[in-house]
Structure 1
Amino acid sequence: MRDASPIWLVRSLRRHWHLLLIMSWRDVMGRYRGSLMGMLWTFVTPLLLLLIYTFVFTVVFKARWDVDTGAGGEGRATFAIVLFVGMIIHGLMAEILTRAPTLMLGHANYVKKVVFPLEILPLTLFLSALFHFAISAGVLVLAMIVLGHPLHVTALLLPVTLLPLVPLLLGIAWGLASIGVYLRDVGHLTGLISTVLLFLSPIFFPVEALGEPYQSLMAFNPLTVIIEQSRQVVLWGKLPDISALIAYSVVSCTLGWCGFAIFQKGRKGFADVI
């Protein structure tokens, strides 16, 4: 088995960082190759989803964000931006969940090359997903300006609230990329998990709207802390809960390393299975 230590990974990234950037950009551009609108879809898609979900939940279901947020009012505009923060964070994880299981299968030509650094392929997926997240974050800022929501200086702390999520996402990418080679059905399962997370995360409702037993269960949702803390800094102008983010980081790094270890253990059989 190849070395699964963080030091080995850092050395590999240092040697292949240029290749990683090239392949990440190629992944972004390849998604829109041949389409008429090209990369404009990265802007249009989150905007359309925002409009659709806002209409369904505020007009059809009459949903409200009935908590004291300090936003200075309640209405469709407030609900839209609160909803969108949760949506783009879920979208970041959903892209990893749905694409990682077929990652090695989609790069079979690289898998069969003895000298290719396969460990960077899940990283290219992560960087590609992060690029689309950044575009969606830009749409969020634009929506806040158009809708008259104040832009707080604490929004600059958004990377701080997202950083603890990174090791977890990388671990998921590595783990699913490896498992997906041997168990092809896992891709169908992760699509279902992505949908479940959409409706069982505090995206369409605040955690405070649930009873105490359910609030405790929500703490086990990997998106809950990140979404809540991101809203604190971006929308409500408050500082993040550092203790919660540190605790999350410990768990995230542990799971991230486990995912990398699974990948390193399984990679020796990729070429034979594919």
Structure 2
Amino acid sequence: MSALLRSLWRYRGFVLGSVKREFQARYLDSLLGAGWAVLNPLAMIIVYTVIFSQVMQSRLPGVANAFGYSIFLCAGVLTWGLFSEIVSRSTTVFIEHANLIKKLNFPRICLPAIVLVSALLNFAIIFALFTGFLLISGNFPGAIFLALLPVLATVVALGVGLGVALGVLNVFFRDVGQFVGVLLQFWFWFTPIVYPLSILPDWARTWVMLNPMTGLIGACQAVLVAGASPDWPYLAPVAGGALVVCLLALVLFRRRAGEMVDEL
């Protein structure tokens, strides 16, 4: 693992340069340029706020705040968006860059790193706007906001681990890429993102609680909606599992990285 980290550090210029080119390519030919990186998430936040807090008058059980459900929904969707972007893009990153892998000699781990940095950049832009909304609307939770850092770190670790493992498997078994798209759709609705866990019947709640994203997204929602501390004892096994997934993914990557060129 230390060798992979050293490789990433040596090629940090390549990683950051690739992220910059990707960001520029996405907005270069548009009139507003990088402004779309702000306008798209801003529009999402406004729509969720207007529709769910004003038009539909949605309420969460035990939450009197008119913006409660909007914040609940944004917290879940943004956190899930970070996770799903890392997983889905990492799954196809080696195949999408097959020509680069064949022509250039560079650490292959740089490709998932590019995906990770790009996903974090997108998330940072969106979450900064969301934080601004919380401040303006008077719903900022205070110092407990910092509790999101270890929660989001666990989300990233789980996403990277799954993404790298699936990305390697997708090189050898191309059905994996198609399967992941379907899996993420089911996984989204199996996670309390648009509905609170409390409304589920007991038998369904038991199954949904086995989903690692349930606790992670629930922790973000608890912090941002109620200003409550995450349930750390419940999250500890999830964090441990995310670390194990990362380690297993790196082992799989190191064993199969040399064979990927022949399969691409």
TM-score over 0.5 for the alignment? yes
Q: Which protein is richer in helix relative to its size?
A: 2
SS at match of 2:109: helix
Structure 2, unmatched stretches of 5+, are none
2:182 equivalent to 1:187: no
SS at match of 1:223: helix
Task: Name which of 165, 181, 187 aligns with 1:175.
Answer: 165
- Please tell me the residue identity of whatever aligns with 2:27: Y
Q: Which residue of 2 aligns with 1:242?
A: 232
Structure 2 CA distance for partners of 1:30 and 1:261, relative to 1, 3 Å: farther
User: For 2:187 and 2:36, how far apart are their aligned partners in 1?
Assistant: 24
2:120 equivalent to 1:125: no
2:146 equivalent to 1:156: yes
- Please tell me the residue identity of whatever aligns with 1:234: L
2:211 equivalent to 1:216: no
State the 1:254 CA deviation. Answer: 0.6
State the 1:258 CA deviation. Answer: 1.5
2:263 equivalent to 1:273: yes
Q: Which residue of 2 aligns with 1:3?
A: none
Structure 2 CA distance for partners of 1:92 and 1:60, relative to 1, 3 Å: same
1:55-74 matches, cutoff 5 A: 63-66=58-61, 68-69=62-63, 73-74=64-65
Q: Which residue of 2 aligns with 1:31?
A: 26
Residues 145, 223 of structure 2: 8 Å contact kept = yes
State the 1:188 CA deviation. Answer: 2.5
- Please tell me the residue identity of whatever aligns with 1:209: I
User: For 1:212 and 1:119, how far apart are their aligned partners in 2?
Assistant: 43
TM superposition score normalised by structure 1: 0.85
Structure 1, unmatched stretches of 5+, are 1-5
Residues 171, 257 of structure 1: 8 Å contact kept = yes
- Please tell me the residue identity of whatever aligns with 2:39: V
User: For 1:115 and 1:192, how far apart are their aligned partners in 2?
Assistant: 34
2:137 equivalent to 1:108: no
> What whole-Å deviation, never above 9, does each CA across 1:29-63 have from its counterpart, x for those lacking one?
33323233322222222233344456666688764
Q: Which residue of 1 aligns with 2:77?
A: 87
Residues 52, 70 of structure 2: 8 Å contact kept = no
Task: Name which of 16, 21, 25 aligns with 1:21.
Answer: 16
Residues 152, 236 of structure 1: 8 Å contact kept = no
Query: How large is the RMSD of aligned CA atoms in angstroms?
Result: 2.4
User: For 2:22 and 2:168, how far apart are their aligned partners in 1?
Assistant: 19
Task: Name which of 233, 248, 251 aligns with 1:258.
Answer: 248
- Please tell me the residue identity of whatever aligns with 1:39: A
Q: Percent identity?
A: 28
SS at match of 1:95: helix
User: For 2:141 and 2:223, how far apart are their aligned partners in 1?
Assistant: 10
State the 1:96 CA deviation. Answer: 1.9
TM superposition score normalised by structure 2: 0.88
SS at match of 2:11: helix
Give the 4+ runs in structure 1 shifted more than 6 A: 58-62
Structure 2 CA distance for partners of 1:56 and 1:180, relative to 1, 3 Å: farther
